[in-house]
Amino acid sequence: MEQKNSGKVVWIAIVAAVLVTGILIAVFFALQSTGDRSEIVLPSGQSSHDAPAPTQDDGASLVEVSVNNVQTVIAGLSRPAAYRQSFSIQSAWDDAAASSTVTMYVADAVTKADIAMTGRDTQHLLTDGKVAYLWYGSEYRYRALQLDESVTSDDLTHIPTYEDVLQYDVSLITAASYVFEEDKDILLVQCVDGDYSDTFRIDLSTGLLCAAQTDYLDRTIYQMSEMETASFSKADPVFRQNFLLPDGTNPFSEE
């Protein structure tokens, strides 16, 4: 995989996601006054301690991790096929600040995200990475958006993933270790590029990013913390209900 020498990967991704989200918010507000469903093309601190390498279910120890091999370790991870994960997100810049909670339901390539922002009704996003369906609060109306290939499901939810670490030049990775936090085996990675510092925490029991933080100089400008996660069977009828549009249909059903 080609690595980028430019740093600030997470912050740049966040800014790009905010721009995309701004477009989505405009769509959501438009839904309150129109029933048009035409397609739109989108533009292209916790207590912890160092821990030994965790063991797999068969008792074998995972590979020792260092700044030189952590990207290889991460590249070998995989997300569950079907899961729910919720986050608390805070961001700040200059005198502005925002907070939100995001709950994601994922089944292979299909993602449903419920985004609750302060002062607004919950925004709902259902996408397979090619088409996004959007609706607002308890509205029955929704809009279908044809996604540009440069926009991913993770962009739309402005949630970083552990794959972001793979975008860094290895020279920008300053720390990598296993830690034990809140009864979890965590892979902790820190990347520094100039005045920006990004910290990632990956839960090795789920293979999912459970926390991320971006600091600029001595100020935290983005913080994402996992509140809850659970794995499911893709065939679970209750879990499948999360992928329905307001009219009760599932546009990505394989049946």
Question: pTM for the full model?
Answer: 0.76
Regarding predicted confidence, which is higher, 152 or 203? 203
Domain that holds residue 34: 9-44+48-228
Residue 192 CB-half CA count within 13 A: 8
pLDDT at 152: 77
pLDDT at 182: 85
Q: What is the 3-state secondary structure (H, E, C) of 116-179?
A: EECCCCCEEEEECCCEEEEEECCCCCCEEEECCCCCCHHHHHCCCCHHHHHHECHHHEEEEEEE
Contact 172, 193 (CB under 8 A): yes
Query: What is the average pLDDT across 172-191?
Result: 95
| Among 153, 150, 163, residue whose Cα is nearest residue 208 | 163
**Average pLDDT over the chain, rounded to whole?**
80
Q: Give dist(CA 6, CA 173) in Å, integer.
A: 12
On whether residue 17 sits in a domain, the answer given is yes
Q: Of all residues in the chain, what percent carry a pLDDT higher than 70?
A: 75
Q: What is the CA radius of gyration of the chain?
A: 19
pLDDT at 19: 39
On whether residue 241 sits in a domain, the answer given is no
pLDDT at 111: 94
Contact 102, 86 (CB under 8 A): yes
On whether residue 248 sits in a domain, the answer given is no
Residue 22 in 3-state DSSP? Answer: helix
Query: Which CATH number belongs to the domain containing residue 212 in this structure?
Result: 2.50.20
Instruction: Tell me the pLDDT tens digit for each residue of 97-126.
Output: 889 999 999 999 899 999 998 778 899 999
On whether residue 247 sits in a domain, the answer given is no
On whether residue 2 sits in a domain, the answer given is no
On whether residue 245 sits in a domain, the answer given is no
On whether residue 234 sits in a domain, the answer given is no
DSSP 21: H
pLDDT at 105: 96
DSSP string, 83-116: EEEEEEEEEEETTEEEEEEEEEEEETTEEEEEEE
pLDDT at 31: 40
What is the tally of structural domains in the chain?
A: 1
Q: Give dist(CA 170, CA 71) in Å, integer.
A: 8
Band (pLDDT 50/70/90 cuts) for residue 189 is: very high
Band (pLDDT 50/70/90 cuts) for residue 54 is: low
On whether residue 238 sits in a domain, the answer given is no
